[in-house]
Amino acid sequence: MTKRRSRRPRPPDPKILRKQREERLNEIKMWTIIREILFYAFFLWILIVISYRSVSNNSYSYKKTMTQVFIETNDTRKSFDKVCIVVKYVVKS
């Protein structure tokens, strides 16, 4: 009968383990940054689509008409350029 030798795996070298740990942490940081950049680019794309969707040939004349009607009114001689805040106090009984 021969004696069986147990083959146990050796623990990894601490220097190699430290280097691999640092590489893995750098990979995690890199993917986090890439994900953030992609989300930001997607947000900008949506913002651009929404911004340019409402541009039409009639938008200038529409804005001009609304400005003449609501801001440059001749009827009341009042300007709507400034916003006034009216505070209403409610008295509780």
pLDDT of residue 91: 65
The first and second tokens of residue 62, run together, are 């529409």
Place of tokens 């040939």: 57
Start-to-end CA distance of the chain, whole Å, equals: 102
Give the Cα separation of 83 and 71 in Å (integer): 12
pLDDT of residue 20: 95
pLDDT of residue 87: 63
pLDDT of residue 46: 92
Report residue 90's pLDDT band, with 50, 70 and 90 as the boundaries.
low
pLDDT (tens digit, 9 = 90+) per residue, 8-62?
A: 888 889 999 999 999 999 999 999 999 999 999 999 999 888 877 766 778 788 8
Query: Is-contact 71 80, C-beta < 8 A?
Result: yes
